[in-house]
Every structure is written in structure tokens, then in C-alpha cells.
Structure 1
Amino acid sequence: MRRDAPVQYDEQRETWDVFRYEDVDRVLRDHETFSADRSGSSASLGDDAGGEMSVLKTMISTDPPEHERLRGFVNERFQPGALREYRPRLEELTDELVDGLETRDQFDFVESFAVPLPVTVIAELLGIPAERRDQFKEWSEALIARPEDPSDEAVQRMKRKRGAAQKEMGQYFARLLTERQGGDGDDLITLAATTDELSQQEKIGFCMILLLAGNITTTNLLTNAIWCFEEQGLTEAVRSGEVSRKKAIEEVLRYRSPIQEIQRIASEDVEVGGKHISAGEVVNVWVGAANRDPAVFDDPETFRPERRPNQHLAFGKGVHYCLGAPLARLEADIALDRLLARFDSLEADLSDLHPLNGHYGLQSLPCRVN
């Protein structure tokens, strides 16, 4: 598609698909022409979920200046400088998880490490009990799930599950926000509860989107990293430092981007790749395709951890560049460092892989260690 139909309209989905790096980059950067606000289109999350999210404005579904207001009050907490102070705690949480794996010679990497670490981290930052991580994972998976098949029954089933998850999450965070009004804690829920910059509904949306975005994508980054290292025979090289861990993480983000697509709405008539897109139409940009565009990346189908430059779009571009990108990079760096350092060998079984429904990752990844 990138070569033969780089900008293509899908009549069944009523969506424009964009595949080339140049075009994807343009759409993501131009927030005035390509809006993140889906409230007035058939792509609205609320339409897919019984309307529950339609009243919740979040930083990922609004445009400037509203976007800056919703994101600005917490932006500083996710900057690299602020996160450096949190590094010792991240190392401690990672070590606790690895400690629990030391007595085992095999385990499911996804279930035992890649899921609990990001959920625990974002739960602690928000100020909610990590012991409920199974519930958080269930909510997150329901919110990103796609229909099992194109039938109306499957679509309606997905909508019901998504709507129920949104309602339960909303009620959970509404209760916590009420309890922490006037509090003096430094967790993100207390920060939201005590600010005058957001409405109650916006505070709920803030908490929900942080919990969702802060765990499942990092789970997939960690899983995809071990998958890539094993597939390419690079695990030992990353462990020893022969291959830069940080550069390898960036190549994982390019090669197996946890988020493969991002949706925008054309706010005016516009031409992309020689095709006319009318105002109000849905534009789906394929980050995964852009990150393997040979016009930008030499030998793009090859995993090359030493790749420079590596200007992948895994975290987006422009005003909506991922707030949690510095945290995701830090988590992955610490997690892979501590995990690989603790075991003499780590081998992943790639013989029977099952993809996730919604994001680019795996349902499970059996590993053997000694």
C-alpha cells in the first residue's frame, strides 16, 4: 500500500489510510488541518462505547489551545529531568519483580514481567493500589479492543464491553478524586483533585487516559524488545553492552511500534499525496508503515540497533507527541538492564506467537532462564 496506494480511501470503513512517512509526518504535525477532536465524527470513541467517553475531554482528543490546558498542568512531571529523581524507585520496583522470577527456570514474560511493571509504575504515579492491576489490565484491554470479526454482533459486543469498562473506570476515579480534594499528596490524582484548571469530567478523563496510555503500550514495548532480541540473536549482545541498549530500544520502537496507527479528522478540504480529502472525513495514519518507509530508512525491513539517524514516529509528532515518551524509554532501559543482568541466559520461545487484539504486541511470550 505504501508503494502502490500511499493515500487510499476505504469505502467499507469510510476512512482514508495514509502509509508514507512524509504524509504521516505531515498529518501528525499539522494539528490545524488534521484534528484530534473526534467528537463530531463517526470515529468518536464515544460512538463506539455507548457515549460514555463522549463527555470526557482528554489531552489526546482535543486540539490547541484546549490541548495545552489539559496537558500543561502535568507536563512538567513527565519531563526527563523530573523523571531522573524517580529512577531509583523504578529500579526498586523492577528489582522486586525480577526477585520473584529468580526461583523459576521458565515463565511467561508478558504475564510475569511486561504487564505488572508498567501497571505498577503508573499506578504508583497516580496514587492507586497496584494490587488492583488485574482490574486495570482488564479495563485497558477492553478500551483498545477491536471486534473479533466484522459481524454486527461482534461489534455490538465490543461496544458493550468498552462502555462497561469506561463506566467502571469513570466511577472509580470520580470517587478517588472526591476523596483527595484538599489533599497534600504528590500523586497525580491528588494533583488533579486539587487543581482549579480542570473540570471534574476533565479530571476523570485525565486519570483514565494516563492509566490506559501508561501501561499497555509500555507492556508491548518490553515484550517486543525481547521478541526482537531473540529473533535477531542479539540478547547476549545487548546484555554485554556490545549493542547499545538505548539504541536497541529505539530500533524496537521503529521496527515493532506498539501503536501502529493514529486517527485524525480533516478540519478542512485538503490534498494529501495527490488525493482530495474533504472536511470531516477520517484520516488514519499508519505509523508502522511510515517507520518502514525505504525513502527514510535504509534497509527498513532489517532490525539494525545501531541505526542512525532513527527518526521513527512511534511516539507521534507535533503537539500530540506522547507525554509519556520519556517515562516509557526510562522504564524500558531500566527493565531490560535489570532483567538481563540478573540471569546468565534468557531465551524466548517464538514458535507459537499470538498477537494482541488492538495494539502491536503478544498475548504471551514463554521464556526460559538460568
Structure 2
Amino acid sequence: MSAADIGGLQTFPAELQDRAAWLEPFEWYAEMRERAPVRYDPDRRTWDVFRYDHVKEILANDDGRFSTSPRNIDGFEEPPEDEGFLLDTMLLQDPPRHDELRSVVDDAFEPRAIRELEPRIRTLTSELLDEALAGADGELDLVDAIAYPLPVIVIADLLGIPREDRDRFKRWSDTIVRGADSGVDPESFVEEQRQAGQEMAMYFLQQLEDRRQNPKDDLLTTIATAEGEGGKLSHREALGMCMLLLIAGNITTTHLITNAVRCFDAHDGDLFDSLADGARELTSAIEEVLRYRAPVQAMTRVPLEDVEIGGETLEAGDGVVVWLGSANRDERQFANADSFVPGRSPNSHLGFGHGRHYCLGAPLARLEANVVLDELTDRISAVEVADADLTPVRSSFIYGVESLPIRFENSASW
């Protein structure tokens, strides 16, 4: 039930079906940029676009040639009424409806509003790390300790839902964005995703009804009061908004944090320790993570008319996957593109997309990653990834690992 899968667009090509290939897809990206920068995959009935300039052109969409809505894909089948709520979110809507939906929650994610959250995020980070490091004995799983719980708690607080439900949030989110393994029974896989989506929808249905009766100072109340006759949101749009914010509000940040530590670990020299010396250096390094190992590797678009890209004609109604992860490694755009350069400047990566659909939660993800990594570099040193046999998250567009065991030493001040 990912953005792609809802629309019947199978994002995962055969070349990335193997888990090892999805853990390190970058050689395949490079091959495609050279050999077939815009190619049609008949097995998926989908176009793949790999070069930076082509990807950015499609995402810019200033002239309305491309849609984000899978309803425009030839052969699209509308899901049942009680499924597919993400179809009615800003993620999969075109202007002007996209802008109207985004305006409901835009204020809460403005940079100024996000900056005001920093003290609270730092306190939460400190509490989680205190608990994790107390019994760590020089080794812990970064995902379990901080990269997963912090973003879930933060988005739960913003929405106004109990943070103790976070295990349910994680199960629902992971199931909805997961891609199917080749060995998985397709019917069972679809049923599992459908069940997770319905459980999440029922949960938010109850929460929205409560806010209509008992309004509070939270995003659920904002959404609930925007729903209904004369409001900005339909019933499905209100549910979809809640689900999107919960999923996108935790998964992207989780993988930005873990991908950062992977990058720091693999970099020449003791980069992790050196980043403790300056906020500017850490901020720049995070931007390079967003280029080098972006948490979102792919997005989907649909041409509304025949469009020529890279010498190929994409016909109206075709499915198109733009590979952000490949664009961010394009040597035509970035010098030493396959090297992690923590001080890279300028760095015009597409890690959060581009154009009207640029990620709403980008300021929050950046802040959370910055606070977590700042606290980590203060508290621990000599950090290294403890397990080379990492397992990638099985998603058709999210890029990260299921767990990240690290070894470390406690800093002298702690």
C-alpha cells in the first residue's frame, strides 16, 4: 500500500529484488545512467529515469505535464471505499487540490514552528539515550535505542495521540511501506497490507471523532475541524492525512539517522568523533547523507500528455519511476559523486524531492537528525557498525536497514 503500490505501479525492478542489491543499489544506478538513462521495463510496464537533470525536470512539474496521482495511470483500478486512504492525501494529489490539502497542516511544519520544538526534541533524545546507554556496555542497536522511538514520539506528540501506542504505529507503518519479497505469497502480502491500513484507519477514525467532541491544541484537532461539510477535507482525506503524517513523520527520519551513522562509519578517518566539534560541520554532513544514502530512493509520476525525456517518448498514462538515489549519485551533477564528502558545497541533492511536492516534513527530519547526532557525538566515541551483514528495509522506495548494531566507547565527559 505504498504510494506506488496503491496505484498498481510496481516500483521494484528485477535488478533490485535481491536484498543485497537493495542494500547497495548504486552500481546498478551507475550502469543505468550510462547505458539506459530512460528505459522502459516491460515486466513492470513502467519507465525508469536515472539521471539528475531528467529526474529534476519531471519532479519540477511547473507546466503540469506530470501528475502524482496513480488514478491517471492507464488501467488503474480504484480500491474499495474502505481502503486506499493514502490516495486522497497531498502526496498523490495535483494542484490546486494538493495545495489546499497541504495548507491544512502547513503552519505546523514551517521552519519557525519546527525550531520551537528543538528543546523538547533534545530532552526526549537525552532521556532515550540515558536509558539506552545505561545498560549498553559498549554496544547497542541504534534503531531500537533512538532512531525509531524518537521520531514516532515526536509525530505522536504533534498529532496528539498516545506515544505508548508507538509499537502499533511501527507495525502499521512498516507493513504499509514494505515491498513484497519474490518468495512471498502475493495474496497473503496484499491482505496483510490491507489489514494494517484498515486497522490504522479505524484507530484514527476514533481519534478524530474524539477531537470533534473534545478539541485540543494538536494536529488531530486541526484535521478534525477541517473535515466535513464546508470544511477543507473530506472524510477520506482527513483519514489519509492522519495516516500520511504518522507514516512519513517517522520512517524517513529513522532511516536518515541510521544512514548517517553508516556513512560516518565508512568514511576515511574518525568522522563521527570530529563532528562533535562544530554544528555547521554536522549540518553539512547530514545534507551529504541526504545525497549519498537518501532515505527515499524513488518517487512515481504519470505523464498527462506524451512527453519526450532523454530521447524517449513517455506516453500519457504511462507509469514512471524517478530514481532519486541515482540522480543524487550522477557524476554530471556532483564531483566525486560516489564519494561521501561531508563538507560538500554546494549540494543540490534531491533527497527530499523537488518542486511543489518537496517534502513537508523536511525541516522536522533535519532537526531530529541533527539533535540525535549531536547528542550521540557528545556522549560516545570510536563508533563503528558492529554487524556487516545488514538487512535492508523491504520497501519499494524507502531505503534503510532494519537494525544497526554499533560498538562504541563512552566519551570522557559522560
TM-score range relative to shorter protein: over 0.9
- The one-letter code matched in structure 2 to 1:82 is A
Q: CA deviation at 1:129?
A: 1.1
The answer to whether structure 1 residue 123 and structure 2 residue 160 are counterparts is no
CA contact (8 A) 1:239 1:340 kept: yes
Once residues 118 and 250 of structure 1 are traced to their aligned partners in structure 2, the CA distance between those partners, rounded to angstroms, is 18
Deviation track 1:258-293 (CA, whole Å, cap 9, x = no partner) reads 110000111111111110111000010000000000
Rounded Cα–Cα distance in structure 2 between residues aligned with 1:50 and 1:13? 26
- Of residues 179, 182, 185, the one that matches 1:154 is 185
Say whether the 8 Å CA contact 2:125–2:372 is kept in structure 1: yes
CA deviations on 1:133-185 (whole Å, 9 max, x unpaired) are 11111111111111110x6x633222111111111111110110011115442
What is the identity, as a one-letter code, of the residue corresponding to 1:305? P
Of the three residues 328, 334, 337, the one matched with 1:297 is: 334
SS at match of 2:84: helix
TM superposition shift of 1:87: 1.2
1:78 matched residue in structure 2? 109
Query: Is 2:74–2:317's contact at 8 Å kept on the other side of the alignment?
Result: no
Of residues 208, 225, 228, the one that matches 1:177 is 208
Would you say the 8 A contact 2:86–2:243 is kept in 1? Answer: no
In 1, are the aligned partners of 2:86 and 2:92 still within 8 Å (CA)?
A: no
Asked if residue 113 in structure 1 is aligned to residue 150 in structure 2, the reply is: no
Structure 1 residues 42 and 363, CA, compared in 2 at 3 Å: closer, same or farther? farther
> Which residue of structure 1 aligns with residue 234 of structure 2?
199
- Counterpart in the other structure of 2:400: 361
Structure 1 runs (4+) deviating above 3 angstroms are: 42-47
Which letter does structure 2 place at the counterpart of 1:163? R
Aligned length: 367
- 2:91 counterpart residue number: 60
Contact 2:286 / 2:370 at 8 angstroms: preserved in 1? yes
Q: Which amino acid aligns with 1:340?
A: T
Using the alignment, how far apart are the partners of 1:165 and 1:42 within structure 2? 27
Contact between 2:303 and 2:318, CA under 8 Å: does it hold in 1?
Answer: yes
Listed one character per residue, the Cα deviations across residues 312-337 of structure 1 (whole Å, up to 9, x for unaligned) are 00101111000000000011111111
Please report how far the alpha carbon of residue 218 of structure 1 lies from its aligned counterpart in structure 2 after TM superposition: 0.6
SS of residue in 2 equivalent to 1:263? strand
Counterparts of residues 213-362 of structure 1 (less than 5 Å): 213-232=248-267, 233-241=270-278, 244-358=281-395, 359-362=398-401
**Structure 2 residues without counterparts, runs of 5 or longer:** 1-31
- Give the root-mean-square deviation of aligned CA atoms: 1.9
Q: Is residue 2:174 matched to residue 1:135?
A: no
Work out the CA distance in 2 between the residues paired with 1:240 and 1:129.
36
SS in 2 for 1:215: helix
- Deviation of residue 308 (structure 1)? 0.8
Q: In structure 1, what is the Cα distance between the partners aligned to 2:374 and 2:106?
A: 27
Structure 1 stretches lacking a partner, 5+ long? none
Q: CA deviation at 1:237?
A: 1.2
The two structures have a TM-score, normalised by structure 2, of: 0.85
Partner SS for 1:141:
helix
User: What does residue 33 of structure 1 align with?
Assistant: 65
Q: Shift of the alpha carbon at 1:240?
A: 2.7
- The whole-number CA distance in structure 2 between the counterparts of 1:292 and 1:179 is 47
Q: Which residue of 1 aligns with 2:47?
A: 16
Secondary structure of 1:181's partner? Answer: helix
Cα distance, 1:111 vs. partner? Answer: 1.5
Output one character per residue of 1:166-205: Cα deviation in whole Å (capped at 9) or x when no partner: 1111111011001111544221101111122212211111
The Cα offsets for residues 65-88 of structure 1, whole Å up to 9 and x where unpaired, read as: 000111012111101111121111
> 1:25: Cα distance to partner?
0.1
Identity of aligned residues (%): 46
Q: 1:43 to 1:290 in 2, by over 3 A?
A: farther
The one-letter code of the counterpart of 2:188 is R
Provide the C-alpha distance between the structure 1 equivalents of 2:148 and 2:42, rounded to a whole number of angstroms: 37
Counterpart-to-counterpart distance in 2, 1:253 and 1:327: 14
CA contact (8 A) 2:301 2:321 kept: yes
Match of 1:144 among 133, 154, 177: 177
